[in-house]
């Protein structure tokens, strides 16, 4: 296999050139959107300068009516996401500035059906026929989300937070906190006076 000076194979360089041309044409202002990139509802997606994605990402910005032109997926400046990141929004998924998402991440602001509160969904209805229920997801600035993470509907992740690999985020994450696990629990918080991450005592 021939390797170029920058350690990419010729095939990889070809893919990068192809992705760069497509980025310039279809995603002005973005740094590099690697193809394939699947996007549903492009006019309902906004992104800031320097946005880059890995291969095989999928964004679905689903309108709640025919005339719904609201922005559903908002991405700030200098956001970098890895391969196969899947984002679904019927309400809003908002991602701040300087956010790093690793690969194989799922972020969704909705569920097929409702399983608590009023008007719950019957299991007799096929899941794909159950009404979508949305609740916004907000991801702050300077957040880092590790590999294989799921961020579920209604969650806010504060500025500077870190989500460990393989976590499932079901509840809000405070700013400057490291959370891990399924469901994700806080393990460390940043102390800016000492410039260090302190462990958070847990009961188990």
- Residue pair 161/146 in contact (Cβ under 8 Å)? The answer is no
What gap in Å lies between CA 113 and CA 21, rounded to an integer? 40
**Does position 187 bind ligand COA by CB under 6 A?**
yes
Residue 15, Cβ density class (10 Å: 0-12 exposed, 13-18 middle, ≥19 buried):
middle
| Alpha helices for 27-128 (secondary structure H) | none
Which residues make Cβ contacts (< 8 Å) with residue 35, sequence separation at least 6?
Answer: 15, 18, 19, 22, 55
Cα-Cα-Cα-Cα torsion 50, 69, 169, 56, nearest 10 degrees, comes to -50
- The piece of 83-91, 120-128, 131-139, 174-182 that touches ligand COA (CB under 6 A) is 174-182
Instruction: Using the minimum distance from each CB to ligand COA, give the nearer residue, 22 or 80.
Output: 80
Cβ distance to ligand COA smaller for residue 71 or 186: 186
Candidates 59-67, 104-112, 135-143, 158-166; binding stretch for ligand COA (CB under 6 A) = 158-166
**Shortest distance, position 163 Cβ to ligand COA, whole Å:** 7
Work out whether 146 is an interface residue with ligand COA (CB under 6 A). Answer: yes
Has 112 been annotated as catalytic? Answer: yes
- Site size toward ligand COA, by CB under 6 A: 13
Binding residues for ligand COA restricted to 50-109, rule: CB under 6 A: 100, 102
Interface positions with ligand COA (CB under 6 A): 100, 102, 146-147, 162, 164-166, 178, 180-181, 187-188
> Among all residues, which ones are annotated catalytic?
112
């Amino acid at each position: 296999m021939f390797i170029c000076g920058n350690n990419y194979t010729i095939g990889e360089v070809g893919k990068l050139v192809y992705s760069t041309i497509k980025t310039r044409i279809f995603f002005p202002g973005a740094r590099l959107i690697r193809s394939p990139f699947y996007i549903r509802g492009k006019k309902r997606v906004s992104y800031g300068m320097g946005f880059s994605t890995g291969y095989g990402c999928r964004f679905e910005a689903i309108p709640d009516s025919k005339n719904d032109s609201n922005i559903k997926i908002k991405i700030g400046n200098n956001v970098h996401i890895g391969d196969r990141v899947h984002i679904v929004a019927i309400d809003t998924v908002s991602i701040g500035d300087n956010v790093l998402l690793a690969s194989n991440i799922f972020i969704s602001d909705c569920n097929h059906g409702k399983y608590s509160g009023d008007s719950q969904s019957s299991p007799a209805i096929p899941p794909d026929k159950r009404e979508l229920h949305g609740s916004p997801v907000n991801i702050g600035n300077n957040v880092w989300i590790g590999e294989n993470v799921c961020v579920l509907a209604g969650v806010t992740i504060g500025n500077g937070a870190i989500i460990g690999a393989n976590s499932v985020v079901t509840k809000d994450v405070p700013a400057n906190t490291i959370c891990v696990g399924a469901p994700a629990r806080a393990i460390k918080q940043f102390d800016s006076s000492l410039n260090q991450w302190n462990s958070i005592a847990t009961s188990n």
